[in-house]
Amino acid sequence: MASELTQYVVTGLLVGGVYALMSIGLALIFGVMRVVNFAQGDFMMLGMYLTYFYAVALGIDPLLGALVTIPPFFLAGLVLHRVFLARVTGGGDPNREMDAQLILTLGMSLIITNATTMILSPTPRAIRTTYATQAFALGPVLLNQARTYAFVMAILLAGAMYAFLTRTDLGKALRAAADDPEAASYQGINVRAMHGVAFGVGIALVAAAGGLLATYYPIEPNVAVNFIVLMFVAVVLGGLGSIPGAFVGGLAIGLVQSLTLLVLPLQLQNVGVFVAFLVVLYVRPQGLFGRRARTV
Amino acid sequence: MSARARGYVAIAAVVLVGLVLTFGISERYHHRILTLVFLWATMGLAWNIISGYAGQISFGHQAFFGIGAYVTVLLAAKLKLIPWIGMLGGVGAAVLAAVLIGTPTFRLAGIYFGLATLAYPLIFRIVMDYLGYQEVAIPMMREQPGLFMQFEDPRAFDLLALGILAATLVLSRLVETSRLGYSLRAIKENEQAAEAMGVNSFRCKMYAYMLSAAPAAVAGAVYAHAILFVVTPDAVFGVLVIVQTLTVCLVGGAGTLWGPLIGAAIMIPVSETLDSTLGDKLPGIQGVVYGAALMAVMMFAPEGLYWRVRSVWSGRGGEAARTTRPTPVFAVASVTPAPAPRASGAPLLEVRGISKAFLGLQALSEVSFDVREGEILGIIGPNGAGKTTLFNVLNGFLLPDRGEVRWLGAPITGLEPHEICRRGIGRTFQVMRVFPRLTVEENVMVGAFVREGAPDRARARAQDALARMGLGGRACLVPTGLTTLELRLMELARCLATAPRLVLLDEPLAGLSSDGVELMSSMIRQAPAAGVTVAIIEHTMHAMVKLADRLVVLDQGRPLAEGLPGEVTRNPIVIEAYLGKRWLARHLATQGAIDAQDHRP
């Protein structure tokens, strides 16, 4: 029993590492731009496909391919922000602006999902690797190799992200723009440009996470739906906009998903996640790591 | 024709057009599109009640659509109950679900509410899968098609869908023109200000949620019988349901009953036609169309087509109203009937030992004072002294850490702001909190509803209050067209329309010219004669000394002094806190000058 529990915890954490990486992308976008990006799951899906095509066409191993999705997605993020998001305003009312941008990203998400279905067909695909079907044995506990590698890569990327935000000037400017856009702009920070950078980095992170996920998860156009909600849950759990919070939230979602299997059948796996989400919203709407209470 | 009658005539016209289309088109496929237009317009109207009027964006409204479909069909499949009755069960279940979902979820504000609503249909969906209801077929009842909503003639479904659309239009119209509708719009614009004006925001949102769940459930049940025949979790709880709902509302324009209708009339035929012509080759074309429509509308007309067309239209003829302005007749008197004075001169409001801290910053500590009936009490102190925090405690926005507030002898600490407003404590705000998309008259009506349930009487009350402030000619404008003085007067009118016995005025003189200060001061001075007691915050000592009967001085959250203006301004502790030691030295030298200024009886 004890080893079974350990197995579930370990499996949950391994999956949670990848959730954590995707969630910090969403948290960064929300933290800096105050935009809940509904299309985040779709960029993850595109990251999976790009990694797939890297592997099929160029023979790049998906663990490396996931990293190589970062530059194109960063650039795409800058362009998408400039062309679409930056133009949507709510007439100066922050709430309306938030609603408008949320609906805009919802539209973006619909287009990406359905256009991908049209172009690439809804048939699921998979990347064949030698490590997808093998496991490390740690005593009685088995660690799927693909999940372990993906977990390690996700942690490294999240660490690099943290270093970027805390050590570099650009990272500090991003955090300043997130904390107080007005004060940041008085310090000579181009807040609008920071929004573009945040969107670019945010979707690049989730694309990379998608690439890592693709080592052990089937790739299909509709995959976004399942993951966007998990990301929302992780980000709210950690406190909307908090990067360390989203990281811990992602790990927690993996754990909850895995441990739910101990008490509920497989189909109800995500019910545990949603119930945890609702409980956190009601009990502590500012999240586990949120600094500010919500303003009514 | 009155505005109210015009609304119903327009609904009748919509029904007429619907009937003409129903009997005018012949192809079966066109009937299907027509049924879908009516159904999605209904679903859009349902969503519009909670998200359009009340501004509580729900991303999970398909929960009610799905409950309506599933309950109706399961009752037919398991209990052989006819759908006409089963539908009532579906509506009941949806309204119950709305109460169960709303009770915890309305505690969340803004984006948190929307995100939480995402989870509910997902949960229902998973649970339906788990219970083995992945596919529930409607049992075929060929011998009694009408009784079991299984019409051969497609026109029957058109008529059924048109019927529920008409009913939902009437329901929306009733909401729009009722007290609830005004309250919902006020909540959407500024929930705190609405609460302070006596709107029970939780209850209003809950009513709106229940009212919006019912038509959604009916639409779901009819959709199951007219279109689906086999109910699956994905078809009724799926993402496409909420996407179509959002699209018809946002394209047409949220917050009006015509928006969803316009949106459905445009979007549904386009997407259905594309789906039928290209859907085989390009699965997902519908999703792309909806996505593109959502993006386009947000970028080019975020308020939706109805509002865009309307603003272009009224932009031509609306100028005349702006220029006329009658001579103001300033008089607070008789906005409220004077209540019987409180016996034995007992204080109206007793503040006892109030303390409040924010994350270690002690905003208020041990503040105690009385407000006596018929006086003008000035509360002064430098910036950051805790004055606004004090008002926020008094009107219920904040719960004090310690201490008690008593109103007419009974404790009111811990009551909601709307309850405190109803008991007779009104307030205005330092940074004005108007409802920007309501007209000046409607702004004041929100306050008037505290005493008048019927919209017509609330309107009359609001017009009266506005006329007394000299704003009669401004009634039909939106507040953005007003000057700062007019806005402050409007806030005062809105506050007085709640018929308060005590008003808390938070820096009513801020930002006014010297003429404006004179005018506002004269209005405030008339209040006690009309039976309204005043507590007023200012940080300019000069204006206060002339206006107030008595002063309470706060400094860094502590009460420093209390008394007649002449005494307080001579108190060296006050002078030091307020003006600094240097001023004190000079002041002592010129004591006489102050004495000469203090000429109040």
Please answer yes or no on whether B115 and A232 come within 8 Å at the CB atom.
yes
What residues of B are in contact with residue A236 (Cβ under 8 Å)?
112, 115
Report yes or no: A116 and A46 within 8 Å, Cβ to Cβ: yes
Question: CA A261 to CA A270: how far, in whole Å?
Answer: 10
Report yes or no: B267 and B251 within 8 Å, Cβ to Cβ: yes
pLDDT for B341: 56
Secondary structure element (H or E) that encloses residue B25, with its range: none
Structure tokens given for A22: 């995707």
Of A104, A109, A118, which is closest to B298 when you measure between CB atoms?
A104
In degrees and rounded to multiples of 5, residue A98 shows phi and psi of: -60, -45
Rounded to a whole number of angstroms, the distance from the CA of A99 to the nearest CA of chain B is 8
Report yes or no: A213 and A16 within 8 Å, Cβ to Cβ: no
Of B57, B284, B292, which is closest to A99 when you measure between CB atoms?
B57
CB count, 10 Å around CB of B586? 9
Of A107, A274, A275, which is closest to B292 when you measure between CB atoms?
A107
Percent of chain B at pLDDT > 70 equals 91
pLDDT at B315 over 70: no
Rounded to a whole number of angstroms, the distance from the CA of A129 to the nearest CA of chain B is 31
Of A103, A229, A275, which is closest to B294 when you measure between CB atoms?
A103
* Residues B427-439: tens digit of each pLDDT: 999 888 999 889 9
Structure tokens given for A217: 């998860």
pLDDT at A244 over 70: yes
**Can you give the residue ranges of every domain in chain B?**
3-237
Q: CA B422, B423, B428: angle at the middle one, nearest 5?
A: 65
Residue range A247-267: average pLDDT?
Answer: 90
If phi over 0 gives left and psi between -120 and 50 gives alpha, with beta otherwise, what is residue B374? Answer: left
pLDDT for B98: 97
What residues of A are in contact with residue B282 (Cβ under 8 Å)?
118
What residues of B are in contact with residue A110 (Cβ under 8 Å)?
243, 287-288, 290-291, 294
pLDDT at B591 over 60: no
Chain A CA closest to residue B286: A114
pLDDT at B498 over 80: yes
Report yes or no: B163 and B219 within 8 Å, Cβ to Cβ: no
Question: CA A289 to CA A239: how far, in whole Å?
Answer: 5
Please answer yes or no on whether A274 and B123 come within 8 Å at the CB atom.
yes
pLDDT for A296: 27
A82 Cβ neighbours under 8 A, 6+ residues apart: A196
Residue B601 pLDDT class (50, 70, 90 cuts): very low
One-letter amino acid of A2 = A
Kindly provide the ipTM of the predicted complex, given to two decimals: 0.89
Rounded to a whole number of angstroms, the distance from the CA of A252 to the nearest CA of chain B is 17
Residues of B with CB under 8 A from a CB of A: 57, 104, 107-112, 114-116, 118-119, 122-123, 126-127, 129-130, 191-192, 239, 243, 246, 250, 282-288, 290-296, 298-299, 302
In degrees and rounded to multiples of 5, residue A141 shows phi and psi of: -90, 130
What residues of B are in contact with residue A277 (Cβ under 8 Å)?
116, 119
Percent of chain A at pLDDT > 90 equals 58
pLDDT at B324 over 50: no
* Residues A41-77: tens digit of each pLDDT: 999 999 999 999 999 999 999 999 999 999 999 999 9
Q: pTM of the prediction?
A: 0.88
* Residues B148-182: tens digit of each pLDDT: 888 889 999 999 999 999 999 999 999 999 999 99
Residue range B588-596: average pLDDT?
Answer: 55
Structure tokens given for B387: 């004055």
pLDDT for B325: 42
Of A107, A122, A275, which is closest to B294 when you measure between CB atoms?
A107
Please answer yes or no on whether A295 and B239 come within 8 Å at the CB atom.
no
Residue range B226-236: average pLDDT?
Answer: 93
Rounded to a whole number of angstroms, the distance from the CA of A38 to the nearest CA of chain B is 11
Structure tokens given for B422: 């109803």
